[in-house]
Amino acid sequence: MTLALSGATRLYVIVGDPIAQVKSPGGVSAAFVARGNDAILVPVQVSVADLPAFLDVADRLKNLDGIVVTVPHKFTCFRRCASTTERARFIGAVNIMKRRPDGGWYGDMVDGVGFLSAVRAKGFEPVGKRALLVGAGGAGSAIARALIASGARELALHDADAARRDALIARLDTIGAGRVSVGSPDPGGFDFVANATPAGMQADDPLPIDIAKLQATTFVACVITIPAVTPLIGAARRRGCPTSTGTDMYQASEGSMLDFLLPSSPVSA
Amino acid sequence: MTLALSGATRLYVIVGDPIAQVKSPGGVSAAFVARGNDAILVPVQVSVADLPAFLDVADRLKNLDGIVVTVPHKFTCFRRCASTTERARFIGAVNIMKRRPDGGWYGDMVDGVGFLSAVRAKGFEPVGKRALLVGAGGAGSAIARALIASGARELALHDADAARRDALIARLDTIGAGRVSVGSPDPGGFDFVANATPAGMQADDPLPIDIAKLQATTFVACVITIPAVTPLIGAARRRGCPTSTGTDMYQASEGSMLDFLLPSSPVSA
């Protein structure tokens, strides 16, 4: 990327711990410049213990306009926002924060829309479709909400933790009444299957679904970025299924982050 | 500049208030890359009131390797260094801090050597020469020490504040005994004249020396960066004197900062 960096360059940081694995500083900084903004996104490695003091200072840094938030800070940062989008409140987490005119932070959570953008870019449109989602944690909640908000006809939710699954279903009912149900590892009959659990990060993890029942017409998505191709994605591809990986999701999220962070984009109270 | 920015890029910040005027982020970041380091220097605007809390957090940011310090933070940052160079202790100020292996900061003050680098680049070598310096504040102290350390034969010091002048002379005597004396605005007979006062920042400021007595063979330097050509520098040039400006000095300082900040350069306890 080509950058005219100076003291006048507006500052954005991405906070996480660890931080070396994140890719967004390069892409978002280049996009800032491409869109005519003298701004940069740089990585800052902040521990959980140090995050409150970091945010206290961030509140008062005069040239800091935005914060991108990654693991493990998304829930704590949500609580520091003066205002957020509805979808961030649904999850109780943010992955981007933008300075409000009064100095406080306006937060959003674009993991869900990033996931859907990646899926759509691979040719799958969820409107009117039947989806099975495995995993009702933070990523699963964001994806579930995005699927319902984008018009999926049915969303079956599976999670080994039945209480967590039912709690998410109850919350999803507030926006998608009647379309959300209890699912199982059986992907048979679904147009779309997504894994939002860590199953696949370790080589000997069991697959999150019953792969023998996966049809070749089903679109299969996964949130895991390492490995780039999880056993689930690999098995789905061998059956001929169209797929979208965690890396696809995070790359698509960058566009949503940028739209939110740009100085010209609106800030809501 | 071309930069492969990612989460693994090591972070350096320049702190000041205001900050928009600083130029070093671009030059230092480009030089980091040119020397094979995945590192970047970005501006952070921190007020005097917020600096202590900022430094508390900076102590614990795991990917922050160095801090460049500009007005008004050079003296406070000196007190936060676990160790410094002797020339920083002489001034009681730092303009660069580098992370020590134990997590504390090692500081240096390169304003004086930056000033001399610029002067040398313009063809003046102070060894054995007679110098008149106007101004015994922070910048003047750094320049005075650098002139003595580099072998000037005589340094005459002039400051409207006689007590400040005499205090600096007394401290300079510890390193350059017998070579430092009380000066006046009369530049006659000196090989080198430097202004380290703010005189010249405002259009109606009086000149810091008696310009009628300036010889065309005398080298004239000034620390002021805005305006780029002060009335003193302009008048000296009209008389045919070789000159060096504040901008020349700060550009030369960048090289010294970089040498200090590079990961491969030593850190002293």
Chain A CA closest to residue B8: A20
Nearest to A44 among B11, B21, B23 (CB): B11
pLDDT in tens, A130-180: 999 999 998 899 999 999 999 999 999 999 999 999 999 999 999 887 899
Average pLDDT of adjacent 10-residue blocks, chain B of 269 residues: 83 96 91 92 97 97 96 95 95 95 95 94 96 94 95 97 96 90 97 96 93 98 93 97 94 87 75
Check A23, A62, A74, A98 and give the catalytic one.
A74
- Residues from chain B that touch A63, judged by Cβ atoms under 8 A, are 19-20, 43-45
Question: Which of B40, B56, B8 lies closest to A45, judged by CA?
Answer: B8
Could you confirm whether domain A112-249 is CATH 3.90.1150.10?
Answer: no
Separation CA B7–CA B28 (nearest Å): 19
Separation CA A35–CA A141 (nearest Å): 32
How many CB atoms are closer than 10 A to CB B46?
A: 25
For B46, residues 6+ apart whose C-beta sits below 8 A from its C-beta are: A60, A61, A62, B15, B16, B17, B54, B73
Asked if the C-beta of A44 comes within 8 angstroms of chain B's C-beta atoms, the answer is yes
* B118 touches B249 (CB < 8 A): yes
Separation CA A106–CA B8 (nearest Å): 27
In the residue annotation, A62 being an active-site residue is answered as no
Query: Could you say which residues of chain A have pLDDT below 50?
Result: none
- Residues from chain B that touch A54, judged by Cβ atoms under 8 A, are 57, 61
The H or E element containing residue B107 is strand B105-108
Q: A5–B64: do the CB atoms touch at under 8 Å?
A: no
Nearest to A42 among B21, B40, B62 (CB): B40
Q: B14–A7: do the CB atoms touch at under 8 Å?
A: yes
Asked if the C-beta of B170 comes within 8 angstroms of chain A's C-beta atoms, the answer is no
Write down the pLDDT at residue B2: 57
CATH topology of B10-109 equal to that of B112-249?
Answer: yes
How far is A65 from chain B, CA to nearest CA, in Å? 11
Looking at the whole model, is its pTM more than 0.80? yes
- Residues from chain A that touch B46, judged by Cβ atoms under 8 A, are 60-62
| C-alpha of A224 from chain center | 11
Separation CA B165–CA B179 (nearest Å): 15
Architecture of the domain made up of B10-109: 3-Layer(aba) Sandwich (3.40)
Write down the pLDDT at residue B3: 63
Asked if the C-beta of A62 comes within 8 angstroms of chain B's C-beta atoms, the answer is yes
* B40 touches A53 (CB < 8 A): no
Q: B1–A5: do the CB atoms touch at under 8 Å?
A: yes
Interface of A with B in 13-32 (CB under 8 A): 14, 16-17, 19-26, 29
The domain segmentation of chain A, as residue ranges, is 10-109, 112-249
Chain B CA closest to residue A59: B50
- Residues from chain B that touch A67, judged by Cβ atoms under 8 A, are none
